[in-house]
Chains A and B, each alone.
Chain A
Amino acid sequence: MSEVAKAAARPLMENAQSRRPLGLLLVAIPVFLMIWLVVWPAINAISRTIWRPDVDGNVGFDLSSYAFFFSDRYSLDNLAITLWTTLVCAILLLVICLPIALYLRFSRSRLSGYVQALAILPMFVPSIILAFAFIRVLGPNGMVDILFNAVGLPKIRTPYLTPWGPVIGLVWDNIPLTVLILLSGLGSVANQSIEAARDVGANALRVFRHIILPRISNSILVALSFSVLGIFSSFTLPYLLGPASPEMLGPFMQRTLREVQDPIGAMTQAVIAFGFCIVFGLFYVRSVARNQGK
């Protein structure tokens, strides 16, 4: 944040001594909800999976459910496919969204309005609708197959019910958020600095590498950590579009709890998923903290 902004923010706070309790009260509600609905269940899940009764009913420290998860080929395959899907989605999102954001930031044409509307559209499409539309378009004997067939092209193997199904769905679903965050990051790139670089003879690639990229690296980190968190714990798209096995942690957890009727196993999976998400979350918190330190 610049010095000007800081100075502008200050007067609002100055005569606010008497309002402080009210401010705290307003903050208290979301904080209370956070603790009640997020922090407490998380602590509860951790304690119930490591501190539980054994076969004789003696309650004690027990890591066996974690030992099972990490020695079970099937669970590890599910974890691996979740990490693979998350990684591939993150790379694809960056590759797709960065050019769109750059175009929207620097284009002066009328077309850019339509591009923006198209890029934001997935935000308003519920994922269950997206999944069934996907099946109709990219599924077997779907629209793509029919179009290919009409022009004499061979049939492609459909991504439906393969690991690529959820990847395509999740990438499409996460484009708006990523584009919006990148776009706001690009807002901090001043036109003057780009023009100055151009004046001394920098080509487009150099401008991007040395002027734009350093300014938006933070936004990229924020955008990726946001979408990665969502993708890692996604449920609907992997459930409807993915293969029966390996399955992502979202459907796996739900199935372990309800169909296999194993709450401890499901909670263990949840805690492990939670652990991975904390790592992604730390990236976000660190970049925000670094941003505010500036």
Chain B
Amino acid sequence: MKRRTFMMSAAGAAAGLALAPRMSFAAKGTIDWYTGSDTNVLDFWANTVKPAFEAANPGIKLNLVDAGDNAGILAIGERAIAAKQTGTDPQADFFEHSDPLLPAGAIDAGVYANMKNAGLSNYSRINPLAIQSEYSLPYRGSQVLLAYDTAKLKPADAPKTWEELVTWIKANPGQFVYNRPDKGGSGGNFVRRAIHEANGRDPNAFTVSNYTQEFGDEALGKAWKLLTDIAPSLYDNGAYSSGNTQSLQLLSQGVVTMIPVWSDQVLQAIDQGVLPPETGLVQLQDLALCGNFSRSIVIENGANRDAALKLADFILSEEIQGAILTELGGFPGVSWDHVSPALREKFAAIIPQSIPTFPSGKWDAAINDGWYRNVAPNVDRKS
């Protein structure tokens, strides 16, 4: 009988465990924060932003959660929409970086807070070029550049235009690699630079809303030709690494001479000794490789909306914006006038004149699908 009672209670406990997750609620005063960015960004928040914010705002805590990637963030966004419809707690307050247009209809559903009307004291400091929507808050930027091994390529010979880059790649087969465009922004923005190149180098030709099947096929088709043309001269006759980090690894092991990199990641890699200090960095002068601002989003129906808005205001402060330059190797999201003069002087050389951007939305899916179908295959790699 005893054994039987034990079995019964064990079965009951198991059934109870299966139901338990339905009954968890977000803790009051703890901001549920999500990111889909790389670990260097998460580290920056854990080591710099979180302690500073919690010290400045007693009683508010930050719960930093890694959502994996942008698609992970969107899944949480979809959960917030569903929670709004049922009037429940979305258990999310703050997205470190996301696109307010995704998931489709989130703004209309009232899930994202309007930053412009939220009364943020630092809103006016934001670099006007970076503002894309009233529902997101650009707070840091980074740009893709080319990193190269100065032992094999002299800085004077480093390519400065797309044409020189292609000539160099073809003259040095196997010495260049970029990652698959959906697996990391360095390769992704290299591919987008090729799209710009094939379409008159005009970043304004592409907007979030101007994707149509015909225009997409035509504009992207020309870019696929450019990329297919250089494919046989890439590393291992046309191999593509599976992420930003893997490209850095190939450069650091001396396998390739040049890769596209995120400015913040490469500065950090040099800082940590993953790459030697004499690693060369160069930006194309005819049209820079794309960059982007990371834009934070506050969830309107989150349990800690007001605290999350405080956090949004906090990350635009001079203290955090300075730390983005010094700790993260990124660009500030505020205008350079609102960065401390000492830092402004120190980083004068890398202050970009312009950061060309490429819209996301439907273009993303078209580029991700098109590249895999048209550029990745069609190469006889055994030869």
Contact = CB atoms under 8 A, between A and B. Distances in A.
A259 B377 contact: no
Interface stretch (A133-141, A187-195, A284-292): A133-141
Interface stretch (B59-67, B196-204, B247-255): B247-255
Contacts of A235: none
A26 B376 CA distance: 51
B70 to A, nearest CB: 9
A157 B250 CA distance: 15
B373 A243 contact: no
Given A161-B239, A261-B365, A141 B372 contact: no
Interface in B128-143: none
Interface string A19-49: 1001001100100010000000000000000
Given A29-B14, A243-B239, A141 B7 contact: no
A174 B254 CA distance: 32
B8 A260 contact: no
A272 B30 CA distance: 44
A141 B182 contact: no
A29 B255 contact: no
Interface string A217-245: 00000000000000000000001100111
Contact of B365 (A157, A162, A260): A260
B180 A244 contact: yes
Interface residues of A, number: 30
A259 B242 contact: no
B374 to A, nearest CB: 9
Nearest to A19: B4
Contact of A244 (B14, B15, B376): B376
B71 interface: yes
A135 to B, nearest CB: 7
Given A26-B11, A29-B14, A259 B364 contact: yes
A62 interface: no
Contact of A140 (B15, B255, B381): B255
B241 interface: yes
Contacts of A244: 180, 239-240, 242, 372, 376
B29 to A, nearest CB: 33
Interface string A136-170: 00011110000000000000011001100000000
B255 A74 contact: no
Chain B interface size, as a band, is 20 to 34
A139 B247 CA distance: 13
A55 to B, nearest CB: 14
Nearest to B104: A261
Contacts of B69: 258
B245 to A, nearest CB: 10
A140 B253 CA distance: 8
Nearest to A245: B376
Majority secondary structure of chain A interface residues (helix, strand, loop or mixed): loop
A140 B249 CA distance: 10
A235 to B, nearest CB: 12
Nearest to B377: A245
Nearest to A142: B253
Nearest to B179: A244
A174 B369 CA distance: 32
Given A26-B7, A26-B11, A77 B377 contact: yes
Nearest to B243: A240
Nearest to A260: B369
* Interface SS, B side: helix
A217 B280 CA distance: 60
A246 interface: yes
Nearest to A252: B372
A142 B250 CA distance: 10
A240 B249 CA distance: 13
Nearest to A247: B372
A255 interface: yes
Contacts of A141: 253-255
Interface string A251-294: 00001001111100000000000000000000000000000000
Interface in B342-383: 364-365, 368-369, 372-373, 376-377, 381
B15 A29 contact: yes
Given A140-B253, A161-B241, A162-B381, A260 B368 contact: yes
A256 B381 CA distance: 25
Given A162-B381, A258-B71, A245 B365 contact: no
B98 to A, nearest CB: 14
A139 B253 contact: yes
Nearest to B75: A258
A243 B372 CA distance: 11
Contacts of A29: 11, 14-15
A135 B249 contact: yes
Nearest to A158: B236
Contacts of A140: 236, 250, 253, 255
A33 B242 CA distance: 35
A48 B255 CA distance: 46
A259 B365 contact: yes
A255 B370 CA distance: 12
18 contacts: A26-B7, A29-B11, A33-B18, A135-B249, A140-B250, A140-B253, A158-B236, A161-B241, A240-B242, A243-B240, A244-B240, A244-B372, A245-B377, A259-B365, A259-B368, A259-B369, A261-B365, A262-B365
Interface of A: 19, 22, 25-26, 29, 33, 74, 77, 135, 139-142, 157-158, 161-162, 239-240, 243-247, 255, 258-262
Given A162-B381, A259-B182, A259-B368, 7 more contacts: A25-B11, A74-B373, A141-B254, A161-B236, A161-B241, A244-B240, A260-B368
Which 4 A-B pairs have CB atoms at the shortest separation, nearest pair first? A245-B376, A258-B71, A259-B182, A161-B239
Interface of B: 4, 7-8, 11, 14-15, 18, 69, 71, 180, 182, 236, 239-242, 246, 249-250, 253-255, 364-365, 368-369, 372-373, 376-377, 381
